[in-house]
Structure 1
Amino acid sequence: MARKLWATRGLAALATGAMAVSLTACGGGGAGGGAGGGAGDGEEGGLVGVAMPTETYERWIADGDAVKTGLEEAGYEVDLQFAGDNIPTQQQQIDAMINKGAEALIIASIDGTALGSQLEAAAAADIPVISYDRLIRDSENVDFYVTFDNYEVGVQQGTSLLTGLGILDENGEEAADASEGPFNVELFAGSPDDNNAGFFFDGAMSVLQPYIDDETLVVPSGQTDFGTVAIQRWEQERAQSRMEDLLTSTYTKGDVNVDGVLAPADVISRGIITALQNSGYGKGDLAMPVITGQDAEAASAKLIVDGDQYSTIFKDTRLLAEQAVTAATAYLEGNEPEANDTETYDNGPIVVPSYLLPTVIVTADNLQAELVDSGYLTEEEVASGQVDE
């Protein structure tokens, strides 16, 4: 898979700081909250450890490369590691970063509960820890969290499913000529060891549940609780297998068909779409259901253009990387980054100060403006479904 991705394309966004927060000292504690160790000495050129979960999905490669580029432009050395979705590997990588003398850590965890000893070591060395997109749980040694408004992402997914079914209009309001249904839908959620997955699902269900209650939406499988519909590790193959099982157990083509699927991420959407296509959906009179997604990956952008996926949620990872660089730079200069949310993200022991970024629903109608015109993807990448080398 391509390694370069958007690293170079994100430079302008990283350099201009279009959404950067001011680096004001605002007090507080946590690992590395004050001077000590490598952080807070005001010197440039220190080492920053960046731990990403996997290179399997294009978004994590893009995130890692963009964070690395931004930190290097700010004058820091970077140790960027991808863990192959293997928890012991990520633990070992973070241990190595600490032993190398990292002065700050930016961590997108595989399992947000599995890094306790690494965070204790970081705290003992006064190394600030920035949790990247996935909240690190069960530790007081997390200083800051950069992410998107994850509950709102779920709301947007639920809203786009209803819009695609014709229940809501493009503004998210009840459509004047709303389709009455009932519509057969199935629900999918993300990995249960990813704290974000619960926010996505809860946000989506806040929108969908009233329509399930009044039977505008029907879930023929009866599977509606998070634990049942969650897909471990966000794996495409698991999503495909579950959709195949649902089709076999619950649906009879021509009698009971799938009208919509709540999918929490593009990688899961693609597994669902493969299962549906293999079962004859998208051929003849059997239309593809309305299928949601998240991450605006090139492969799914092409599926949206082709009419196989209805929507995705665009989380501009260039801005997320910028925010991580802003936070790390603040700590390394002896300050603290400014949070715009100090109430939502309780990781167990503490509420972690956070910076939340906005997201956008993308469909075929606005894909060009949001993804291509913004420079996130090229027209060639959308057409091919692959990110350029």
Structure 2
Amino acid sequence: MKKLGILLLLIVVMATLFAGCAKEESNLIGVSMPTKSLQRWNQDGANMKTELEKKGYKVELLYAEDSVDQQVKDLENMITKGCKVLVVASIDGEALKGVLDEAGKAGIKVIAYDRLIRGSEYVDYYATFDNYLVGVLQGNYIMQTLGLDKGEQGPFTMEVFGGSPDDNNAYFFNGGAMDTLKPYIESGALVIKSGQTDMSQIAIQGWKSEGAQARMDNLLTAFYADEPVDVVLSPNDSLAQGIVASLKAAGYGSADLPFPILTGQDCDTTNVKMLIAGEQSMSVFKDTRTLATKVVEMVEALMKGTEPPVNDTETYDNGVKVVPSYLCEPVFADVNNYKALLIDSGYYTEDQLK
């Protein structure tokens, strides 16, 4: 009888353990971020994990450090562990078809996070900011600051930078800005001395600051030895950092040679400090808390078997299907409004921007 009692006790303990494991697996959400080297992805990952854990989910958060192979391995591990939903900010939007096929066949739902994943039927939803609007905000800022919308004819010199060619968003950012500025380029009010506007000429692989710095060095040497550049269209903050480094090295930042109008995106702390110092003109603010909250709503809906919230079912074609999407609205920050947007909202503290 004593042996039987011990055996029954072991059975109960093992059953409890298995039940706990099953419950954990049924509650597991995988979050794959591209890298820790950019501030915004650290914030995105942390916000996502915090919000999901508040809702009672277990989260597997992994950073692939800009290695496509590592991101594929991370996703394969998440599939093996039994994640029910994968939230994926891809490094290369074209490179995940194979592993997403595995996820789809295993019945795992996939939400593309901020970057559209192309070429797979198993991308169920997409959550991002309105990427075309990001470019429009940058274009409008340039237009209004120069007074082009009020009839100012210039001419003003401008150079254009593009994001990483393997990031689908880069084309939307560029499209929004260039569509906005096109009339002024055609009229001659804006003059791109290099003539370089195609993404094959202006794209910076991996959104690397050093790549932007090297290209800006070349542009200044080749085209601006005798006159200053008035405007630099940069799609994001990491490129803007490299551009500012190049401009400083060339002597910009004095009364005789002021910094050009320079755009950006993400409101990284380094770049907000550059806004305050007058080195960068504006940055598009995409509140990652807003995006994280929306993705958590999507995850919860999928886990409950209901339809996630979407507000766009036409724009984002990944080459196989139009992916139902939710687009959050970005806003611009400059030296005049950054305190209200970034400090008063609790996104940053004043100490972080000193």
Residue of structure 1 equivalent to 2:8: none
Instruction: Note if 1:126 corresponds to 2:107.
Output: yes
The one-letter amino acid of 2:218's match is D
Is residue 2:253 matched to residue 1:282?
Answer: yes
Deviations 1:245-269 (A, max 9, x none): 10111111xx321001000001100
TM-aligned CA distance change 1:181 to 1:190, over 3 Å: same
Amino acid at match of 1:363: D
Query: Which residue in the other structure is 2:197 paired with?
Result: 224
Classify the secondary structure of the residue corresponding to 2:294.
helix
| Closer/same/farther in 2, CA of residues 45 and 101 from structure 1, 3 Å limit | closer
- Does 2:48 match 1:67? yes
User: Is the Cα contact below 8 Å between 1:48 and 1:103 reproduced in 2?
Assistant: yes
Q: Distance in 1 between matches of 2:25 and 2:219?
A: 55
Structure 2 residue runs of 5 or longer lacking an equivalent are 1-21
One-letter code aligned to 2:182? Q
Asked whether the equivalents of residues 187 and 229 of structure 1 are also in contact (C-alpha less than 8 Å), the reply is yes
Q: Distance in 2 between matches of 1:166 and 1:287?
A: 18
Distance 1:118 1:328 in 2: 20
Say whether residues 1:305 and 2:279 are aligned partners. no
Q: Is 2:220 the partner of 1:239?
A: no
Q: Does 1:144 align with 2:125?
A: yes
Aligned to 1:260: 231
Q: How many Å apart are 1:382 and its aligned residue?
A: 1.6
* 1:215 and 2:196 are equivalent in the alignment: no
C-alpha deviation, 1:304, in angstroms: 0.4
Decide which structure has greater helix share: 2
Partner Cα distance (1:377, 1:43) in 2: 34
Following superposition, the deviation at residue 380 of structure 1 comes to 1.3
Shift of 1:44: 9.4
1:131-187 CA-to-partner distances (Å, cap 9, x unmatched) read 0000000111000000011111110111112223333xxxxxx23xx5431000000
Aligned-residue sequence identity (percent) comes to: 50
How many residues matched? 333
The answer to whether 1:198 aligns with 2:179 is no
The Cα of 1:283 is off from its aligned counterpart by 2.3
The one-letter amino acid of 2:144's match is T
The answer for the alignment partner of 2:321 in structure 1 is 350
In structure 2, give the amino acid aligned to 1:153: V
| Alignment partner of 1:363 is 2:323 | no
Whose Rg is larger? 2
Cross-structure match for 2:294: 323
Deviation sequence 1:7-51 (CA, Å, 0-9, x none): xxxxxxxxxxxxxxxxxxxxxxxxxxxxxxxxxx99996111000
Q: TM-score, normalized by length of structure 2?
A: 0.92
Instruction: Give structure 1 stretches of 5+ with no counterpart.
Output: 1-40, 168-173, 384-389
Which residue number corresponds to residue 90 of structure 1? 71
Q: Deviations over 1:39-85 (max 9, x none)?
A: xx999961110000000011000000000011111111100000111
Specify which structure has the bigger relative contact order, considering alpha-carbon pairs within 8 angstroms and separated by 6 or more residues: 1
Aligned equivalents of 1:47, 1:342: Cα separation in 2? 28
Structure 1 match to 2:242: 271
SS at match of 1:126: coil
Per the alignment, residue 156 of structure 1 pairs with 137
1:161–1:290 Cα contact (<8 Å) kept: yes
Moved more, 197-206 or 179-188: 179-188
Q: State how far apart, in whole Å, the 1-side matches of 2:144 and 2:332 are.
A: 11
Distance 1:166 1:42, change over 3 A: farther
SS in 2 for 1:185: strand
Secondary structure in structure 1 of the residue aligned to 2:107 = coil
Q: Which runs of 4+ in 1 moved over 3 A?
A: 41-45
Letter in 2 for 1:263: S
Counterpart of 1:117 (choices 98, 106, 110) is: 98
Do 1:44 and 1:76's aligned partners in 2 also have CA atoms closer than 8 Å? no
C-alpha deviation, 1:284, in angstroms: 4.1
Q: Would you say 1:183 and 2:166 are equivalent positions?
A: no
Q: 2:31 aligns with which of 43, 50, 55?
A: 50
Can you list the C-alpha shifts for 1:363-382, whole angstroms capped at 9, x where unaligned? Answer: 11111111111111111112
Displacement of 1:234: 0.4
Q: Is the 8 A contact 1:42 1:334 kept in 2?
A: no
User: Paired residue for 1:291?
Assistant: 262
Give the match's secondary structure for 1:347. coil
**Which has the higher mean CA deviation after the structures are superposed, 238-247 or 42-51?**
42-51
Report which stretch shifted further, 259-268 or 178-187. Answer: 178-187
